[in-house]
């Protein structure tokens, strides 16, 4: 037999905000709220689980990711980032700056195309998700955060540039660690 739970009228009214009329019961609404809470917090209750994942550790409530294997960056937002001496505020801006810096060294679209793992096109192209980088007269196709990191890291390694990104996983049940901050950093060896 199920236990009987008594709640105040105030809490009952709050629960009604999340109920679908003629579908939900108080129990099903409580279950939805618990599911949401657990989806957002299961991975966050201890730092041990994070520290056990290969190449990752938690310091001062910041998840420090292995730059070679950064887990899932889907549903993340950059808080602050640097590529070389440039500040970056968005994932696609990161890959744009990486290509601009690379072009300064290669000075050739063909050479850059052979090094880059992003989809790039010589000249102005604005269809299929491409952005035009007027400064270097190439277009770069937009990518998700995971591919952007891999592409920027590839160029950083090739041209020996520091790259550091402080980001936050959005408060979304599909995020790997909702509302947690992460750090990705790579420096060339001296």
Q: Tell me: the pLDDT tens digits for 30-85? A: 877 776 666 655 444 444 444 444 445 666 678 999 999 888 999 999 999 999 99
CA angle 142, 147, 149 (to 5 degrees): 105
What's the pLDDT at 48?
44
What's the pLDDT at 50?
45
| Domains in the chain, number | 2
DSSP 99-133: HHHHHHHH--HHHHHHH--S-EEES---STTEEEE
Is 160 within a domain?
A: yes
Classify strands 62-64 and 181-186 as parallel, antiparallel or unpaired. parallel
- Neighbour tally for 45: CB within 10 Å: 9
- 96 shares its domain with 76: yes
Q: What is the DSSP letter of 63?
A: E
- 79 shares its domain with 145: yes
Classify strands 163-169 and 76-83 as parallel, antiparallel or unpaired. antiparallel
Average pLDDT over residues 93-117: 96
- 63 shares its domain with 94: yes
Q: State pTM to two decimals.
A: 0.70
- 131 shares its domain with 74: yes
User: Residue 34's domain spans which residues?
Assistant: 16-43
- 106 shares its domain with 169: yes
pLDDT tops 80 at residue 141: yes
What's the pLDDT at 47?
43
């Amino acid at each position: 037999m199920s236990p009987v739970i008594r709640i105040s009228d105030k809490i009952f009214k709050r629960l009604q905000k999340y109920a679908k009329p003629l579908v939900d019961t108080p129990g099903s609404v409580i279950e939805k709220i618990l599911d949401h809470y657990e989806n957002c917090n299961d991975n966050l209750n201890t730092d041990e689980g994070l520290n056990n994942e290969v190449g990752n550790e938690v310091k001062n409530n910041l998840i420090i990711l292995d730059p070679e294997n950064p887990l899932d960056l889907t549903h993340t937002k950059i808080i602050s980032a640097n590529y070389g001496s440039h500040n970056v505020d968005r994932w696609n801006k990161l890959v744009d700056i990486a290509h601009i810096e690379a072009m300064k060294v290669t000075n050739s679209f063909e050479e850059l195309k052979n090094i880059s793992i992003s989809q790039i096109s010589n000249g102005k192209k604005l269809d299929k998700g491409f952005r035009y980088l007027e400064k270097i007269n190439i277009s770069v196709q937009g990518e998700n955060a995971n591919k952007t990191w891999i592409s920027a890291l590839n160029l950083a390694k090739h041209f020996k540039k520091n790259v550091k990104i402080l980001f936050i996983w959005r408060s979304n049940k599909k995020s790997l660690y909702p509302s947690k901050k992460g750090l990705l950093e790579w420096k060339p060896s001296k």
